[in-house]
Amino acid sequence: MPGERNQDAGERLLPNGAAIIAAENCPALLTPAEARHFAALLRSEAARMRGENIVAARKQSLTEAVLGEVSGLEHAKDQSGTKHLYAHAHEIRGLAGMAGLSTAGRIANDLCQYLDALPADITLPDPMTVELHVRAIGRAARAPWEAEDVGTAVAETLNRLVARNLTQTRSAVEPVHDAPPEAAKPDAP
């Protein structure tokens, strides 16, 4: 019968036929009255303030994690290849937003996209493009108050640089096709 508990199997059946399997250390389901009480607690001022305090406490540790990844990124830019460079930029783009460092995250994301967009036969990215991204990420992470003011302009400028760099890289890699002889002849008068 729905709602009855099967003691042997550790299950409780719901009216829709679904079974809830009892497990140790798992919270019990709330009754409707308990659920209303719990929802009211979540909407309370005390809960809001507690949540803000938890986020603030985590923000510092996330910021420290981002700064650690920035240091790793700065070291990786001088290494050969892109594996470590990409790994650090990827971590920064994932953590930065939660740490309140959205500009650093955006520029790290742009660096990841640049590295992803490089042609397969290019093993080393343009050093100046990488250097500018790494410096911008470091500055945005270490001085977020400045990043709020100029971060969008910096990110857009770096995106234009990347677009130009990728265009030049691709045109240098693509095979050149000689024009057919007819195209080389001047028009007859």
User: pLDDT tens-digit profile of 91-143?
Assistant: 999 999 889 899 999 999 999 999 999 888 777 888 999 999 999 999 999 99
Q: What is the 8-class DSSP label of residue 150? A: H
Q: What is the Cα–Cα distance from 60 to 39, expressed in whole angstroms?
A: 29
The tokens of 40 are what?
Answer: 């009211």
At residue 3, the pLDDT reads 44
Burial level of 32, CB count in 10 A (0-12/13-18/19+)?
exposed
* Sheet containing 5-6, strands listed edge to edge, beginning at the edge strand earlier in sequence: 5-6, 11-13, 19-21
Of 122 and 69, more confident = 69
- Residue 9 CA from chain centroid, whole number: 44
Q: pLDDT class for 73, splitting at 50, 70, 90? A: very high
Q: Is 178 left (phi over 0), alpha (psi -120 to 50) or beta?
A: beta
Beta bridge partners of 5: 12
Amino acid letter, 153: A
User: Secondary structure of the chain: what % helix, strand, coil (to 5)?
Assistant: 65, 5, 30
HSE-up of 131 (CA within 13 Å, CB side)? 4
**pLDDT, tens digit, 9 for 90 and up, residues 18-68:** 665 555 666 667 777 887 888 888 889 999 899 888 878 888 899 999 999
Strand segments (E) across the chain: 5-6, 11-13, 19-21
